[in-house]
Amino acid sequence: MLEAARQAGIRIPTLCHHEALEPYGGCRLCVVDVTRPEWDGWNKLVVACLYPVEDGLIVHTDTERVMETRRVVLDLLLARSPNTPLIRDLAREYGIDRTSYEVNPEPTDCILCGLCTRVCDHIGVSAISAANRGAGREIAPPFMEDAPPDCIGCLACAEVCPTDHITYTQTIGTRTIWGKTFEMLRCPECGRAHITREQAAFEARRNKVPESYFEYCDECKRKKTAGTIRGLSRTG
């Protein structure tokens, strides 16, 4: 339903959804009201990211019940992450300037949307997961180790994180994320540090190609392929 609404230009707010991943239904922010003519006025709240579109379904995206549910979600998130710009802006949009709950004594930008762990699982690495309970729940390496041993430094988690909670640093030869430092492979053509050695090895195993396939960066690979095709068409 979320997809259909977006195609129709109707905005439904989301926090745990990413088009590259399976819907999860974790944040409850995309809640909408649905009914059908044969339901005799009965309606129910559903999460748009998980609910399938059906012929005859009537969807209301801004009823008072919908708005109130989203307000509760944002009020709670504001208590956990009172300094996080994305949450502050969304909460303000729903008329909340201050949370009505007890403010987290250790504010965090992690809203526990689960996108980072899901993308890591999706890639097949599963280097990080949720740890602890209650207000102390956080995303961490297994067994709260200093650095996740299976991490390949691909940055997928940092890229999907909606609040930029996952930070990393990169120099010409290294990348550091989750407390782990990786050596970067540099493209022999343009010199760009484009992939970690661990990610190249992982991708080579997964795609059953030699590791040397990842020597060149994607752009130089494309240029080389285009050059080969041009050469072939000249000789052909």
Interface with ligand SF4 by CB under 6 A: which range of 3-11, 91-99, 104-112, 171-179? 104-112
CB 108 to ligand SF4: min, Å? 8
Binding partner of residue 114 among ligand FES, ligand SF4, none, CB cut-off 5 to 8 Å per kind: ligand SF4
Binding partner of residue 111 among ligand SF4, ligand FES, none, CB cut-off 5 to 8 Å per kind: ligand SF4
CB 87 to ligand SF4: min, Å? 10
Please give the structure tokens belonging to residue 108. Answer: 């965090």
> 67: helix, coil or strand?
helix
d(C-alpha 65, C-alpha 48), whole Å: 15
Binding partner of residue 29 among ligand SF4, ligand FES, none, CB cut-off 5 to 8 Å per kind: ligand FES
> Measured from the CB atom, is 74 or 184 closer to ligand SF4?
74
> 70: helix, coil or strand?
helix
Closest by Cα among 74, 54, 57 to 14: 74
28 binds ligand FES (CB under 6 A): yes
CA angle 87, 90, 93 (to 5 degrees): 150
d(C-alpha 118, C-alpha 157), whole Å: 9
Residue 181's alpha-carbon distances to 115, 151, 184, in angstroms, are 22, 10, 10
> 45: helix, coil or strand?
strand
d(C-alpha 78, C-alpha 74), whole Å: 6
Binding partner of residue 28 among ligand FES, ligand SF4, none, CB cut-off 5 to 8 Å per kind: ligand FES
> Measured from the CB atom, is 25 or 82 closer to ligand FES?
25
The correct pick among 139, 151, 152, 156 for binding ligand SF4 (CB under 6 A) is 139
| Inter-residue contact 78 to 96 (CB < 8 Å) | yes
**Residues lying near ligand SF4 in the complex (CB under 6 A):** 110-116, 139, 160-161, 163, 165-166
- Which residues of the shown chain bind ligand FES in the complex (CB under 6 A)? 14-17, 25-30, 47, 49
